Each structure stands twice: as C-alpha cells, then as structure tokens.
Amino acid sequence: EMNYSIEWSDEAETTYIKILFYLEEKWTIREVRNFMARTEEVLSFIDKNPGIYPHSEKQNIHRAVVTSQVSLYYEVHERKIILLSFSDNRQDPDKKF
C-alpha cells in the first residue's frame, strides 16, 4: 500500500478558508465543524485510494464532492496528492476544472 503526501496549494487553502468564513457568517459554528470534519473524511478517503473520485473534465484532475454545495479538485502524482481548489457547486461552471 502506497503512502501519499497531501499538499495544499495556495488556491486550495484560500478557497477552504473562504468557505469556513462564509459558513461562520451565514450559519453556526456547528456547520463550520461539520464541514471541517467532512473535509477530513474526504481527505482520508483520497489518501487511502486516490482514484476513488471521478475525473473532472480535465483528465488528470479528480473531483470529490465534499458536500452538496462544495467540491474539491485534486491531482494525483506518483506519491503526492495536490489539493487544487474547493469550489462552490452553485457557482459559474466555467470556473471549474
């Protein structure tokens, strides 16, 4: 079984933090905690089996649905998983990977 290192791109960090701020502003700390826990769960799935989520339109990029509102885009390299971006599923589809 291969061990992967997970790297957060600047874009992934920024978009993740934006979502947390949005949840905190519009919802409650419970939703923030739930989203963080769900993200951790998705990352552990990706770590165990990087191919678990389907490819997006671009062949080497995968899309994991974190919640019904948010997707995570990531790339798989030899021993490394690079988190590219968190994206609001309701946003402009042209922005997607």
| Amino acid 92: pLDDT | 55
pLDDT digits (tens, 9 = 90+) for 12-53: 999 999 999 999 999 999 999 999 999 999 999 999 999 999
Distance CA 93, CA 10 (A): 21
What's the pLDDT at 94?
Answer: 55
* Mean pLDDT across 45-71: 90
Per-chain mean pLDDT for the chain: 90
Of 57, 67, 56, the C-alpha closest to 32 is 67
Q: State the pTM of this model.
A: 0.87
Q: Tokens 């885009």 belong to which residue?
A: 73
For residues 2-20, average pLDDT:
93
Distance separating alpha carbons of residues 11 and 54, to the nearest angstrom: 21
Joined tokens for residue 93: 């589809």
> Listing from the earlier edge strand, what are the strands of the sheet with 61-65?
5-8, 80-88, 70-76, 61-65
> What six digits make up the tokens of 10?
């600047």
